């Protein structure tokens, strides 16, 4: 609900459980964000506060957006160079409301610069049932003078004043993504960001704030997540006056944007929400919102097999057919060929960019393998890395200028490849054309794993200082356009986003991708930590989790770790005997029975891998009738007795039956006393399944 209190020049954005209040005109201050309140009583709280002669109006610290005007000492959202001045004197010109195509209520605040034809529209979309608000800005230059944007942020977010503030965020690196970190805020600015050209494994573009006492089941949490796949930045600043203000959007590191007459720049969306049920409720709210408004589909993920660990780059039609035959026996639904299928002469320094099917490995084309896989009743998928170019490839020989490079200097070589500059129209067309040809010539392809294994370096194309600074954002824009075109032309082809592991996981990419590669680390114990961190801000529906030969633990342990998301198999199944195939088949069959609940249900993190000797998650189906619990002991070197595991999210008066034991227990007992686990040693594991008694 959007309401304008005209007498106070105050807007009220109300969701089912929250209120978001801010002023416009002279008092463009943020006033309140939290539990639903009576907004009509709040106007007297606006005002000016000057503490001493050394500080201008400190209420600028609570500006709802913030234009660079030379008066405020906080981070501004928009900064521009007009050639003769950088001061922005933005005047509020009114507002409009409308309903979006997806049913959200939209508020548009209109601003104009007083000395030029620069316009800024601030967009708020209100998702009532999900307690979510999205924010972005549209910056338009209708002046004959060109301007240069130096910073273009999506939003400034003010947190209510509290005695203390704790920031929770996700940090990591390659093979150690998604590690949850907490920091108590003191005066100063804490920054999380990406400068690699990708979303990055270092930080997720998301934040959560509480007073230091909230936990999984209780407490107030303010949170946000940025939908952008390039260089981004989120600054969390606490001032000496105890104001906490968060500014996020496109990273202004090496950034510039020219706006000529009639041109606009649209900042990425920042989605924000508020929870009174702790971090667990925060995550469930985000998961529900993502499934309804972000993801391109909510189809249940198929169990796939990927050939990488079995054959590496040494693929050929014979060994892939042999793998497919074995995969079918264990219940695999989709067979995916990884790297090594392309280029006339394949090696790590030569192939990337030459996207023709290797004639020696596949003398009858890819169609022979596709037909065999389809004949077995499985779907077929393929791996590509379109944004990479090898130094000895035919493509690089023909177009060395298509690789990012500083003039007169060879590009930095990382993992034997350069980055293809898809902002060049011809290079972008090349990528789109080869993808279209691949999918049209081989209509049996129903899945594409799109990889990008290195960070961007040497981001230059000889365009001058400003032109080169525009490349970072232009690359992501071109990428989005390619993916959008592929989805429109091939709506039945599923796409996976992969970037050296979890290097490109964000809600910008997930508008196009059906799933994401979570990490190159498939050790089942490590994945308990990685997957927990992932679940804070992203739904298990998109979280690819493979069973492989890497790491520790039994086959059961590996499967139960991976069954908490979108199950895949990456093991070298050539080494499996019939008993091994049967064991894989057993767990795959069980996963198929529970995957609807895991992928689409509500997730409860019962015990954290970061705390204590037990890790446990619980999934409750959408209708509440099915419950799946996974449990894993760790660091239990003395085989101490594990605590009873208390479940969550059940009907306290309903009776549930455990499929393993057949025992029936009321929901209040399961939630307040718990269940006993048959676990002891490290790398043991257990799955428990419950149903409402009347379904048994």
Q: What is the largest CA-CA distance in the chain?
A: 82
User: Is residue 590 domain-shared with residue 616, that is, in the same domain?
Assistant: no
Please report, for the domain that includes residue 673, its CATH number: 2.60.40.1180
pLDDT at 596 over 50: yes
Question: Mean pLDDT across the stretch 402-424?
Answer: 96
* DSSP H helices in 147-247: none
Name the residue with higher pLDDT: 72 or 590: 590
pLDDT at 43 over 80: no
In a domain, 395, yes or no: no
pLDDT of residue 135: 98
Q: Is 371 a catalytic residue?
A: no
Q: Is 506 a catalytic residue?
A: no
In a domain, 406, yes or no: no
| Distance, CA of 119 to CA of 142 (rounded, Å) | 8
Contact assessment for residue 497 and residue 511, using Cβ atoms and an 8 Å cutoff: no
Domain count, the chain: 3
Q: How far apart are the first and last CA of the chain?
A: 42
Q: Tokens 């060994």 belong to which residue?
A: 319
Q: ∠ CA 195-532-646 to the nearest 5 degrees?
A: 155
pLDDT of residue 652: 96
Give the domain range for residue 363. 304-386+428-454+473-513+539-600
User: Is residue 157 domain-shared with residue 54, that is, in the same domain?
Assistant: yes
Active-site residue identified among 55, 288, 371, 520: 520
pLDDT at 676 over 70: yes
In a domain, 404, yes or no: no
Calculate the average pLDDT of the chain: 94
Q: Distance of CA 255 to CAs 69, 78, 424, 474, 577, Å?
A: 20, 13, 18, 11, 56
Q: Write down which residue in 238, 267, 294 finishes a domain.
A: 294
pLDDT of residue 55: 67
pLDDT at 330 over 90: yes
User: Is residue 15 domain-shared with residue 61, that is, in the same domain?
Assistant: yes
User: Is residue 590 domain-shared with residue 673, that is, in the same domain?
Assistant: no
In a domain, 421, yes or no: no
Please report, for the domain that includes residue 190, its CATH number: 2.70.98.60
| Distance, CA of 282 to CA of 206 (rounded, Å) | 12
**Predicted confidence (pLDDT) per residue in 222-249, tens digit:** 999 999 999 999 999 999 999 999 999 9
Reported as a pLDDT band with limits 50, 70 and 90, residue 72 is: confident
In a domain, 145, yes or no: yes
pLDDT of residue 53: 57
pLDDT at 50 over 80: no
Q: Write down which residue in 583, 600, 617 finishes a domain.
A: 600
Alpha carbon 166 to chain centroid, angstroms: 22
Tokens of 353: 């960019």
Strand-pair partners of 680: none
Name the residue with higher pLDDT: 472 or 681: 472
Backbone torsions φ then ψ of 577, nearest 5 degrees: -90, -175
pLDDT at 125 over 80: yes
**Predicted confidence (pLDDT) per residue in 139-149, tens digit:** 999 999 999 99
User: Is residue 684 domain-shared with residue 548, that is, in the same domain?
Assistant: no
User: Is residue 337 domain-shared with residue 286, that is, in the same domain?
Assistant: no
Question: Mean pLDDT across the stretch 283-310?
Answer: 97
Active-site residue identified among 338, 451, 514, 523: 451
Question: Mean pLDDT across the stretch 256-271?
Answer: 98
User: Is residue 242 domain-shared with residue 317, that is, in the same domain?
Assistant: no
Reported as a pLDDT band with limits 50, 70 and 90, residue 258 is: very high
User: Is residue 80 domain-shared with residue 125, that is, in the same domain?
Assistant: yes
User: Is residue 618 domain-shared with residue 682, that is, in the same domain?
Assistant: yes
In a domain, 571, yes or no: yes
Question: Mean pLDDT across the stretch 661-679?
Answer: 95
Please report, for the domain that includes residue 442, its CATH number: 3.20.20.70
| Distance, CA of 631 to CA of 618 (rounded, Å) | 9
In a domain, 226, yes or no: yes
User: Is residue 183 domain-shared with residue 272, that is, in the same domain?
Assistant: yes
pLDDT at 465 over 60: yes
**Predicted confidence (pLDDT) per residue in 147-200, tens digit:** 999 999 999 999 999 999 999 999 999 999 999 999 999 999 999 999 999 999
Lowest-confidence segment of 201-210, 536-545, 593-602, 672-681 by average pLDDT:
672-681
pLDDT of residue 483: 98
pLDDT of residue 92: 94
pLDDT of residue 454: 92
pLDDT of residue 569: 98
Reported as a pLDDT band with limits 50, 70 and 90, residue 128 is: very high
Q: Write down which residue in 551, 584, 600 finishes a domain.
A: 600
User: Is residue 282 domain-shared with residue 361, that is, in the same domain?
Assistant: no
Percent of the chain topping pLDDT 70: 97
Backbone torsions φ then ψ of 132, nearest 5 degrees: -125, 150
Lowest-confidence segment of 58-67, 184-193, 257-266, 476-485 by average pLDDT:
58-67
How many other CB atoms are there within 10 angstroms of residue 395's CB atom? 20
pLDDT of residue 47: 62
SS3 content of the chain, % helix, strand, coil (to 5): 25, 30, 45
| Distance, CA of 580 to CA of 589 (rounded, Å) | 14
pLDDT of residue 52: 65
pLDDT of residue 681: 81
pLDDT of residue 343: 93
In a domain, 485, yes or no: yes
Percent of the chain topping pLDDT 90: 87
User: Is residue 593 domain-shared with residue 616, that is, in the same domain?
Assistant: no
pLDDT of residue 696: 45
Strand-pair partners of 691: 626, 657
Reported as a pLDDT band with limits 50, 70 and 90, residue 133 is: very high
């Amino acid at each position: 609900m959007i309401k304008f209190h005209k007498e106070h020049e105050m807007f009220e954005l109300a969701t089912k459980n929250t209120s978001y209040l801010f002023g416009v005109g002279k008092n463009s201050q943020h006033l309140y964000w939290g539990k639903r309140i009576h907004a009509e009583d709040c106007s007297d709280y606006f005002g000016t506060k000057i503490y001493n002669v050394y500080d201008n109006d400190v209420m600028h610290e609570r500006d709802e957006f913030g234009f660079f005007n030379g008066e405020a000492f906080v981070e501004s959202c928009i900064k521009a160079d007009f050639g003769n001045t950088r001061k922005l004197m933005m005047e509020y010109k009114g507002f409009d409301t409308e309903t979006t195509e997806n049913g959200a209520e939209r508020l548009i605040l209109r601003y104009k610069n007083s000395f030029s034809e620069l316009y800024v529209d601030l967009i708020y979309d209100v998702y009532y049932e999900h307690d979510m608000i999205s924010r972005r800005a549209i910056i338009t230059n209708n002046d004959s003078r060109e301007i240069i944007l130096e910073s273009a942020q999506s939003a400034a977010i003010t947190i209510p004043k509290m005695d203390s503030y704790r920031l929770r965020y996700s940090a990591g690196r390659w093979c150690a993504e998604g590690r949850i970190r907490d920091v108590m805020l003191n005066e100063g600015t804490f920054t999380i960001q990406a400068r690699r050209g990708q979303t990055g494994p270092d930080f997720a573009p998301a934040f959560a704030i509480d007073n230091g006492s909230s936990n999984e089941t209780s407490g107030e949490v303010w949170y946000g997540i940025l939908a952008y796949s390039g260089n981004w930045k989120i600054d969390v600043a606490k001032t000496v006056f105890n104001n906490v203000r968060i500014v996020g959007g496109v990273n202004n590191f090496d950034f510039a944007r020219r706006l000529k007459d009639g041109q606009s720049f649209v900042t990425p969306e920042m989605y924000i929400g508020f929870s009174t049920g702790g971090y667990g409720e925060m995550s469930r709210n985000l998961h529900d919102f993502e499934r309804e408004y972000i993801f391109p589909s909510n189809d249940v993920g198929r169990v796939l097999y990927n050939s990488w660990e079995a054959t590496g780059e040494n693929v050929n039609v014979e060994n892939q057919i042999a793998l497919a035959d074995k995969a079918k026996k264990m219940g695999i639904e989709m067979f995916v060929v990884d790297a090594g299928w392309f280029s006339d002469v394949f090696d790590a320094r030569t192939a990337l960019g030459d996207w023709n099917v290797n004639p020696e490995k596949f003398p009858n084309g890819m169609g022979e393998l596709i037909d065999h896989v389809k004949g077995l009743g499985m779907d077929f998928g393929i791996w590509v890395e379109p944004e990479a170019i090898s130094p000895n490839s035919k493509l690089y020989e023909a177009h060395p200028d298509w690789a990012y490079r500083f003039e007169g200097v060879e590009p930095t070589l990382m993992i034997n490849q350069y980055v293809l500059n898809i902002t060049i129209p011809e290079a972008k067309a090349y990528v789109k054309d080869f993808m279209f040809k691949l999918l049209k010539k081989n209509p049996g392809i129903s899945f594409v794993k799109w990889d990008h294994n290195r960070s961007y370096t040497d981001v230059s194309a000889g365009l001058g200082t400003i032109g080169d600074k525009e490349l970072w954002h232009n690359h992501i824009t071109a990428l989005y356009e390619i993916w959008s075109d592929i989805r429109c032309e091939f709506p039945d082809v599923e796409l996976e986003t992969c970037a050296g592991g979890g290097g490109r996981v964000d809600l910008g990419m997930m508008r196009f991708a059906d799933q994401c590669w979570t990490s190159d680390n498939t050790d089942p114990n490590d994945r308990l930590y990685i997957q927990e961190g992932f679940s804070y801000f992203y739904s298990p529906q998109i979280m690819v989790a493979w069973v492989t030969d890497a790491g520790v633990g039994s086959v059961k342990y590996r499967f139960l770790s991976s069954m908490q998301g979108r199950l895949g198999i990456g093991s070298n199944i050539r080494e499996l005997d019939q008993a091994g195939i049967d064991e894989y088949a057993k767990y795959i069959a069980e996963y198929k029975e529970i995957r609807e609940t895991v992928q689409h249900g509500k997730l409860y993190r019962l015990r954290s891998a970061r705390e204590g000797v037990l890790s446990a998650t619980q999934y409750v189906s959408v209708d509440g009738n099915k419950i799946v619990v996974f449990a894993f002991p760790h660091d239990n070197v003395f085989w101490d007795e594990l605590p009873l595991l208390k479940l969550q999210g059940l009907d306290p008066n309903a009776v549930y039956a455990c499929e393993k034991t057949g025992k029936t227990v009321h929901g209040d007992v399961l939630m307040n006393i718990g269940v006993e686990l048959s676990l002891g040693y490290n790398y043991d594991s257990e799955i428990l399944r419950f149903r409402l008694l009347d379904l048994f």
